[in-house]
């Protein structure tokens, strides 16, 4: 048996090591990590390459690391969760899905999952959004109005929203949710607390060259700087058409016109976001749209199913989980592409994302690492 974790490890820090350790303590089972690759749910390039992050995870609690396809990694919470669960359930050994959240009350999280499906809740959200409301706040207030404060608290933070989406995605799979309460600093906090800090704060420290050794079990040797992609992103946005923008995920209501107008004047991605931002569109949503434009990720591809598990690395225990995979396992992208099947477009996107991410370092990295990097095999001492 095994426990799955859907993750970004951006970067792999002490909180992630705690999550994996708690999952093993509670289940006495090895861990499968379904991890974002080169770009993340915020629509940003990952702090370092997926192979570095996978290696750190394997040395500190993960037993098998499979890549979450880019199409789902750069997606809203619902699609991110469903994409991760799709891979997790393809391993017959997986019996639990562990995830960190502020509220580890499973009943409250399940009640919140039911609330999101409620017609009354969705009617209140729709009314608020028509008035130019901010979706996260509209969701929380609608759930509070229909279900009360306790259930509303379960959708009041990004981590809890993901937790609720995991529970929704798990329905009918036979996999049980295993919420684990976050330790230390809050999500997106710029504070540290007993060796714990938010991933966003750690990313800032790493990019400033600060000493983060107390916050991470391993310091990545090279880190990205998202602003180094600005010219490439702006070039893409200045050459894209309105029709191509409308084909991207989460673009609607004339948003493509606002983006095109801003792209012609903005001198950086941050300036463009400031020009386009309204109460209706969260920063994360807009960043995802820009990332999708840059990567060539369309709504059609994001809503199409993938039927493979790209394996990044494993331990001896992870090899047992790997044997239980019921879908196509990809251990060589070159071989998988030669087969030219329904997974080809997804794999091509993963490779393209990895190659474009290599441009985000102070010293540009070589491309084709998807072809050249061996699967990681970690022999941890038990």
What are the residue ranges of helices labelled H in the chain?
14-27, 50-59, 70-73, 77-88, 106-117, 119-130, 135-147, 149-153, 158-170, 199-208, 230-239, 242-246, 255-263, 269-276, 283-295, 299-302, 316-323, 333-339, 344-357, 369-372
What's the pLDDT score for residue 62?
Answer: 98
Tell me the whole-structure pTM to 2 decimals. Answer: 0.94
Q: Give the confidence band of 242 by pLDDT, cuts at 50, 70, 90.
A: very high
Tokens of 216: 């991470």
Residues of the chain with CATH 3.40.50.620: 2-102+162-224+307-340+366-378
Longest C-alpha distance within the chain, in Å? 58
372 contacts 365 by C-beta, under 8 angstroms: no
The larger pLDDT score, comparing residue 208 to residue 183, is at: 208
| Best CA proximity match to 365, nearest among 70, 46, 9, 67 | 46
pLDDT of residue 130 exceeding 80, the answer is no
Angle between helical axes of 230-239 and 283-295 (0-180°, round to 10)? 80
Measure Cα distances from 26 to 3, 29, 97, 165, 380 in Å.
Answer: 10, 8, 12, 22, 20
Rg (C-alpha) for the chain, rounded Å, is 20
**pLDDT, position 186:** 56
pLDDT at 92: 97
pLDDT at residue 188, as a whole number: 60
Task: Say how far apart CA 106 and CA 103 lie, in whole Å.
Answer: 8
| Topology classification of domain 2-102+162-224+307-340+366-378 | Rossmann fold (3.40.50)
What is the predicted pLDDT for the residue at 35?
Answer: 98
What was the pLDDT predicted at 150? 82
Q: Which whole number is the average pLDDT over 117-128?
A: 88
Residue 183: its pLDDT value, please?
Answer: 76
Share of the chain above pLDDT 70, in %: 98
**How many CB atoms are closer than 10 A to CB 251?**
19
Residue 133 confidence (pLDDT): 73
Position 215 confidence tier, pLDDT thresholds 50, 70, 90? very high
Return the H-helix or E-strand segment holding 330. Answer: strand 328-330
Which tops the pLDDT comparison, 233 or 305?
A: 233
The predicted-structure confidence for 315-352, as pLDDT tens digits, reads as follows: 999 999 999 999 999 999 999 999 999 999 999 999 99
CB neighbour list of residue 364: distance below 8 Å, 6 or more residues apart: 358
pLDDT at 189 over 80: no
Residue owning tokens 């879908």: 327
Over residues 87-98, the mean pLDDT reads 98
Beta bridge partners of residue 32, listed in sequence order: 4, 64
* Closest CA relative to residue 151, chosen from 189, 174, 118, 128: 118
What is residue 187's predicted lDDT score, i.e. its pLDDT?
56
Judged on CB neighbours under 10 Å (0-12, 13-18, 19+), 335 is exposed
pLDDT for 125 beyond 90: no
| Model pLDDT, residue 381 | 58
Of 71-80, 97-106, 147-156, 372-381, which one has max mean pLDDT?
Answer: 71-80
What is the pLDDT at residue 380? 64
Please say if the pLDDT value at position 185 is more than 80: no
Round to whole Å and give the CA distance between 297 and 301. Answer: 7
On whether the CB atoms of residues 308 and 344 are closer than 8 A, the answer is no
Can you give the pLDDT at residue 117?
A: 86
Query: Which stretch of 29-33, 100-104, 182-186 has the lowest confidence by average pLDDT?
Result: 182-186
């Amino acid at each position: 048996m095994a426990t799955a974790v859907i993750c970004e490890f951006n970067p792999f820090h002490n909180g992630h090591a705690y999550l994996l350790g708690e999952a093993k303590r509670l289940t006495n089972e090895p861990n499968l990590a379904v991890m974002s690759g080169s770009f993340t749910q915020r629509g940003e390039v990952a702090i370092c390459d997926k192979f570095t992050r996978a290696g750190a995870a394997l040395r500190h609690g993960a037993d098998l690391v499979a890549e979450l396809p880019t199409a789902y990694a750069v997606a809203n919470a619902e699609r991110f969760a469903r994409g991760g669960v799709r891979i997790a359930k393809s391993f017959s050994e997986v019996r639990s899905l562990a995830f960190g959240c502020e509220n580890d009350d499973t009943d409250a999280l399940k009640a919140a999952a039911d609330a999101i499906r409620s017609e009354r809740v969705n009617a209140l959200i729709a009314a608020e959004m028509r008035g130019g409301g901010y979706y996260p706040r509209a969701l929380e207030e609608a759930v509070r109005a229909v279900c009360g404060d306790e259930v509303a608290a379960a959708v009041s933070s990004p981590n809890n929203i993901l937790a609720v989406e995991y529970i929704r995605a798990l329905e009918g799979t036979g996999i049980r949710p295993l919420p684990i309460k976050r330790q230390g600093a809050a999500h997106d906090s710029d504070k540290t607390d007993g060796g714990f800090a938010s991933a966003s704060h750690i990313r800032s420290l790493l990019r400033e060259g600060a000493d983060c050794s107390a916050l991470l079990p391993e310091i990545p040797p090279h880190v990205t700087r998202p602003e180094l992609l600005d010219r490439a992103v702006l070039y893409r946005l200045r050459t894209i058409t309105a029709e191509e923008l409308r084909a991207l995920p989460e673009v609607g209501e004339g948003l493509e016109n606002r983006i095109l107008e801003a792209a012609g004047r903005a001198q950086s991605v941050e300036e463009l976001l400031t020009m386009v931002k309204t109460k209706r569109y969260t920063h994360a949503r807009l960043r995802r749209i820009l990332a999708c434009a840059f990567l060539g990720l369309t709504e059609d591809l994001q809503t199409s199913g993938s039927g493979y598990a790209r394996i990044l690395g494993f331990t001896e225990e992870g090899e047992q989980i790997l044997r239980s995979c019921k879908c196509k396992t990809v251990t060589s992208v070159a071989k998988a592409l030669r087969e030219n099947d329904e997974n080809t477009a997804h794999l091509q996107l993963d490779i393209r994302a990895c190659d474009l991410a290599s441009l985000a370092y102070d010293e540009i990295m070589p491309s084709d690492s998807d072809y050249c990097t061996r699967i990681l095999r970690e022999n941890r001492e038990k």
